[in-house]
Amino acid sequence: MYPRSPELGKAHLGASTFFASAHPSESCGSNGLPLTPNSIRIFGRARALHIINHPHLCTYVDIHRGKHERIMVVQEYYSMNLGKAVQKYEKLRSTSGLSQVAHQILQGLVYLNNFGSVSCNLSPENILVDPFGQAKLYNYGLYYMTEAGSAVSFPIGCVQYTAPELLLSGASQESNPSGSTVSGNPAWDVWSLGLILTEVLLGCTITNKNESTEKQVASVLELAQASDPLLKLAEKHQALDKLKFLSEDMKDFLHQCLTVNPEERPLPRSLLSHRLFQLCVISASLVPIPPHFPVIDPALCLVDFAQYKAKFGMTSRNQKEMLPDYPLTSGDQDSPQLLKQTAISKRLCVKELLSERSMREIYYLWQLAGGNVEQELKKQKLIRTKPAILALPSVMVVEGEVFGGGINRHQLLEATTIILPLQNLHSRLAHIPPEKYYPLITQGECGTDDPEISQLPLVIRERDVEYQFHRLLTFERLLQAYPFKADAILKEARKDTPPYYRALVWAALLHVDGAIAQRYQQIDKETPTATDRQIEVDIPRCHQYDELLSSPQGHAKFTRVLKAWVVSHPHLVYWQGLDSLCAPFLYLNFNNEALAYACLSMFIDKYLHKFFLRDNSEIIQEYLAKFSHMIAFHEPKLFNHLHNIGFIPELYAIPWFLTMYTHVFPLHKIFLLWDTLLLGEASLPLCIGIALLRQLKDRLLQFGFNECILLFSDMPDIDMERVVKECVLVFCSTPPAVTFRQHERSPSDLSKPSSHSPHLTDANQDLIMDAVPVSDLKSEKCPRISGAGLLELMAYKKSRDGRSKVLVVDVRSTEEFSRGTLAGAVNMPIDTTISSENTLVPGPSTDILIANRGRVIAIMGSRNSWDQVLKFAECLLNHEFHRVCTLHRGVEVFRSSGALIVPA
């Protein structure tokens, strides 16, 4: 997954939960569609928080939606918060220690401001202190993900630390829940910071938490009315002597923070250069780094000076001293007495090794090892299940709105965070030797090569924590070495693509490279165009079962990527279906529109070349004709049936190919399908079509026209893994010439000899497949094979077990045949082999044909009597012979190649 999150280190994964506010039932937006649930709005927005990667901000690892608008958030977490830490550690209480902390918090805030948000949620509980004494803001994304609190029905932030102007405007804010653009004033957080620090320095608590909200608000407003809030605080809590002992710098800093007028209060950015922080060093870049592809490990990126400094100056953990007696383990770990000594040491070792992995990776593996956030929250009573009878509403009005019986107000936001227990994961990975954590990709060492597991079905492999762990390690390395290791990525992806890295593997398979972010940035995605209306009506119905794509953020990103594509491809146009095509890329690269756009562009260029031309009928017609040929080639019986009932590909296969099956299947199936599709050539989608038909073959053969088309209009459940396997088999048994399309993108390496046949030289242009008019393609039922393709098939004979892969049938007269034909060709003059009723005449020829059933049967005739060739081929097709093809441009193509011999 992407972008990479920071290393786990000594962090815990903490889970917390809250409820989004529910819409009254049956409410519709102005477009007649139901309002987007607030939990989906939150879900879509929260995804952007994954980009945040800063040493003083806890990482947002993941977010889930539960029932009844419940949101569950997984974040980096430490068991110490500032409130507890200052009580335990003298060092942190001291002016110097506390100014360090203040400096770190400010850095976090500046980074957050640069990201485009504010915390609005500062409190001693939401400032965590890690084992190295570093401050980390926690829960700072609540304001951002809830769109300034408009998606939840509880206030954000701790009342006693909230800036007074926020409390005063609180009422008006709530009445305007449509505020979709989050801005927030960075100065709000400065007030809170000032109060928190003052509290520590004066050794007092401003208000008792158990006091009523009214009293808490009153005490904040009381402060706001004082001319000097700091002095007022000290007076109120009899701490004037403590105030006296504070350094001038600190006093000045606190004064500035506690400026009542929000317009005069300094912003975090300017406070960073306050005298108090003269000796402090910036820990890391204060600007979020957008995700980059090809992947550059930010830690290795020397271009970014701040990162450089961070890497070698400040944050290297090993050099830093840990706080003594820091409670590292959560209380619920199994007692050591129960474990043998060796097991403990092994676990410690795993723990150490895993702490170097990224948090999101650990969380992913934890889930594979059976972890489930909702279960954990339930276990620890943060989610309480209420008997259904107690949840019944007490009043219900005719319009469908209900009152009472809902969620208790105090449950809306659960302030507690629970720690996800990683023991299970540790024990699952305990036996993996340390060296496996560092695979040597240059020596072809690729994690587990355990043949047993690689033979298991994909669904099992995808859920096997150990297998995925090895895959993750391998792919991480390979992707870091992209594009240098592009070939190795392809090789590994042939085994399978780990879902965790799918976005990047796909980008690598599509050869995305270069300055994609800049290119995307330069495209005008705002100016209205004629296509806008169409895009606007298509997006709200494109894969909307998905939480991410149906969120307002998803729609906005969708629009931008599609508009960018349309604008940047002036010779191509938006056809309905492009939206579906974009969906998988957008889903995978939700935080990297540029990469989604780049992948989409590359994908279309490779697999749907010219499909989005204003006039694409020729291209589609050719494609469908080729598909029809493929059916005849691989499934003659089905072909005959479908042909007889008039069920032609035009009627069902346009959405298949125009959207590469994205309009046909849900996302999870598309992922599986495209994992394979992207490995193959532009003709692979045709083979997928055949594999699909094969899976439905039994039904189709029994169905009439109406049933067939109904079957496809409501695509039945397809076993995608079987399709994927089948399509590869189909691909391998299809000579390239059969799927040749003149509108295919010409491969850049066209000069590469496509055949190893000794007969083929550059001069033999005749032998190569070339364009056939679409009208001819459509009138012919069987595909054509090129001379070179035929020679190649024949060459197999010599290398395999003597059984030839192809039967060449020369349909010319015996006289012509005897003058020269291909070695091994069988002469079956059309007049004697096929009766006037277009059936095979029983005899030795027919016997030969029957004996060769299953092989490629190439019908060879003269260019001048092409009708004979077609007639013969169609007759075989009617007799349900597999793999019948005709020799493109007749036997004459071999004249100059010397392949013709006089038969014995």
Give contact residues for other proteins (rule: CB under 8 A). Answer: 30, 32-34, 534, 537-538, 540-542, 544-545, 550, 573-577, 579-580, 614-615, 617, 645-646, 648, 650-651, 654-655, 658-659, 663, 705-706, 709-710, 713, 778
- Please state the closest distance from residue 614 (CB atom) to other proteins, in A: 8
Cα separation, 414 vs 825, whole angstroms: 80
Bond preceding residue 6 cis, omega within 30 of 0: no
Residue 632: both structure tokens together: 């005849």
Taking phi first (over 0 means left), then psi (-120 to 50 degrees means alpha), and beta for anything else, what does residue 259 get?
A: beta
In three-state form (DSSP H/G/I as H, E/B as E, the rest C), the secondary structure along 591-657 is: CCHHHHHHHHHHHHHHHCCCCCECCCHHHHHHHHHHHHHHHHHHCHHHHHHHHHHCCCHHHCCHHHH
- Please state the closest distance from residue 537 (CB atom) to other proteins, in A: 4
Q: Which is nearer to other proteins, 660 or 790 (CB)?
A: 660
- Please state the closest distance from residue 784 (CB atom) to other proteins, in A: 19
- Please state the closest distance from residue 530 (CB atom) to other proteins, in A: 10
Q: Which is nearer to other proteins, 62 or 538 (CB)?
A: 538
- Please state the closest distance from residue 635 (CB atom) to other proteins, in A: 20
Cα separation, 658 vs 664, whole angstroms: 11
Contact 607, 685 (CB under 8 A): yes
Residue 596: both structure tokens together: 């989604």
Q: How many CB atoms lie under 10 A from the CB of residue 471?
A: 24
Q: Which is nearer to other proteins, 37 or 499 (CB)?
A: 37
- Residues 6+ away with beta carbon under 8 Å from 239: 202, 203, 204, 233
Q: Which is nearer to other proteins, 280 or 782 (CB)?
A: 782
- Please state the closest distance from residue 584 (CB atom) to other proteins, in A: 15
Contact 657, 627 (CB under 8 A): yes
Q: Which is nearer to other proteins, 98 or 660 (CB)?
A: 660
Q: Hunting for tokens 């009315």 — which residue is that?
A: 225
- Please state the closest distance from residue 574 (CB atom) to other proteins, in A: 8
Residue 38: both structure tokens together: 């607030």
Closest alpha carbon to 448 in 472, 476, 423 = 472
Q: Which is nearer to other proteins, 154 or 575 (CB)?
A: 575
Contact 519, 599 (CB under 8 A): no
- Please state the closest distance from residue 652 (CB atom) to other proteins, in A: 8
Euclidean distance between the first and the last CA atom of the chain, given in angstroms as a whole number: 65
Q: Which is nearer to other proteins, 490 or 654 (CB)?
A: 654
- Please state the closest distance from residue 682 (CB atom) to other proteins, in A: 20
The per-type count for the chain, helices as H runs and strands as E runs, is 40, 15
For 101-120, give the DSSP string. HHHHHHHHHHHHHHHT----
- Residues 6+ away with beta carbon under 8 Å from 715: 664, 665
How does strand 127-129 pair with strand 70-77? unpaired
Cα separation, 523 vs 562, whole angstroms: 11
Q: Which is nearer to other proteins, 375 or 706 (CB)?
A: 706
Radius of gyration of the chain, Cα coordinates, nearest whole angstrom: 34
Q: Which is nearer to other proteins, 423 or 576 (CB)?
A: 576
Cα separation, 413 vs 863, whole angstroms: 80
Q: Which is nearer to other proteins, 22 or 711 (CB)?
A: 711
Q: Which amino acid is at 738?
A: V
Residue 364: both structure tokens together: 């992913």
Burial of 801 (0-12, 13-18, 19+ CB in 10 A): exposed
- Please state the closest distance from residue 483 (CB atom) to other proteins, in A: 34
- Please state the closest distance from residue 669 (CB atom) to other proteins, in A: 15
Cα separation, 887 vs 455, whole angstroms: 40
Q: Which is nearer to other proteins, 615 or 837 (CB)?
A: 615
Q: Which is nearer to other proteins, 215 or 778 (CB)?
A: 778
- Please state the closest distance from residue 57 (CB atom) to other proteins, in A: 36
- Please state the closest distance from residue 40 (CB atom) to other proteins, in A: 12
Cα separation, 383 vs 405, whole angstroms: 17
- Residues 6+ away with beta carbon under 8 Å from 198: 230, 233, 254, 258
Q: Which is nearer to other proteins, 272 or 709 (CB)?
A: 709
- Residues 6+ away with beta carbon under 8 Å from 716: 696
